[in-house]
């Protein structure tokens, strides 16, 4: 095994480390300060004390892949990648520091989220995905843990592009998180396309609304392929039927029955927000725009 101290470093390259923001089995994210550009950043690093040499090399390759994919994007609903640096023989990703926490953390602490908030978050994610798809990239791992959210500023950011791929080179079929995978992940006759992200966003919306997975984890591949999820309005009756229908259409088994783009999903959410929650910020902005035409 690679050996190293588990203590938080004082610095990585020119960046002064402030504190740990989060850690997983293989990676750790620090809050840091860039003295050259006078800004706070986040730095993703490997937890080398947890990894053998082969695992470490794989993780560093993922970091380089993520930076090469996401580093060229600039969108308000996508976490920006600022730099890829080498320090003490390791690769680190320097990215935008975002106040808030993941949607997964919100679900764990507060349970199902308010319906209007879910619509707003999914709308912004759909806008971010539409931008990605327009630029030729499929995210491939949309889930609550990869969406950053801060309710005070209604800030929403998609993160983690470690398995994102070009649309014409979609990569290994099995990559992703099983609970949010579309049927085409399990059917070798079908392609991974931007609509795969639409399905994952629908499954994410399902989880945010009812805090339940759409399918059981015991037979998940078979259920995703052929079983119909319980509609969210049957689990949580206060959810308006049009909202439930958005989830079901986003999670349609076939490409033809699904929203035909992330932009189409965003447009439908905008319409339903205007009908069901006319006081929402997105609905108000839409009304103001329509009035100005």
**Per-residue pLDDT reduced to its tens digit, 104-163:** 999 999 999 999 999 999 999 999 999 999 999 999 999 999 999 998 778 999 999 989
Nearest to 122 by CA among 18, 234, 206, 10: 206
Residues catalogued as catalytic: 141
Q: What is the pLDDT of residue 171?
A: 66
| φ and ψ of 230, to 5 deg | -65, 125
> 23 pairs with which residues across the strands?
28
* Structural domains present in the chain: 11-96 (3.30.200.20), 101-292 (1.10.510.10)
What pLDDT does 22 receive? Answer: 84
Q: What are phi and psi of 169, to 5 degrees?
A: -140, 70
For 278, residues 6+ apart whose C-beta sits below 8 A from its C-beta are: 284, 287
Sign of CA dihedral 175, 177, 183, 187: positive
pLDDT for 208-254, tens place per residue?
999 999 998 878 999 999 999 999 999 999 999 999 999 999 999 99
Q: What is the pLDDT of residue 55?
A: 81
Residue 93 φ then ψ, to 5°: -100, 125
Q: In sequence order, which residues have a C-beta less than 8 Å from that of residue 10 and are 6 or more positions away?
A: 16, 17
Q: Is 271 exposed, middle or buried (0-12, 13-18, 19+ CB in 10 A)?
A: middle
Global pTM exceeds 0.95? no
């Amino acid at each position: 095994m690679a050996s190293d101290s588990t203590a938080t470093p004082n610095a990585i390259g020119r960046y002064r480390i402030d504190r740990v923001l989060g850690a997983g089995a293989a990676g750790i994210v620090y809050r840091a300060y860039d003295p050259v550009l006078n800004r706070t950043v986040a730095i993703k690093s490997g937890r080398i004390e947890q990894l053998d040499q082969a695992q470490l090399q794989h993780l560093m390759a993922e970091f380089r892949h993520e930076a090469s994919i996401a580093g060229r994007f600039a969108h308000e609903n996508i976490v920006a990648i600022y730099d890829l640096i080498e320090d003490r023989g390791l690769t680190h990703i320097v990215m935008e520091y975002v106040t808030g926490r993941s949607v997964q953390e919100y679900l764990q602490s507060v349970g199902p989220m308010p319906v209007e908030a879910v619509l707003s978050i999914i709308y912004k994610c759909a806008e971010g995905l539409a931008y990605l798809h327009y630029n030729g990239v499929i995210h491939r791992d949309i889930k609550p843990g990869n969406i950053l959210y801060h309710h005070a500023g209604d800030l929403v950011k998609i993160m983690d592009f470690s398995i994102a791929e070009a649309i014409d080179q979609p990569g290994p079929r099995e990559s992703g998180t099983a609970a949010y995978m579309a049927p085409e992940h399990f059917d070798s006759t079908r392609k991974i396309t931007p609509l795969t992200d639409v399905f994952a966003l629908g499954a994410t919306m399902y989880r945010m609304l009812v805090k339940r997975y759409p399918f059981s984890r015991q037979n998940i591949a078979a259920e995703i392929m052929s079983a119909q999820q319980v509609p969210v309005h049957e689990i949580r009756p206060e959810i308006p039927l049009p909202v439930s229908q958005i989830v079901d259409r986003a999670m349609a088994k076939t490409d033809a029955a699904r929203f035909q783009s992330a932009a189409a999903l965003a447009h439908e959410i905008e319409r339903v927000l205007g009908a069901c929650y006319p006081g929402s910020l997105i609905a108000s902005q839409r009304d103001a725009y329509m009035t100005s035409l």
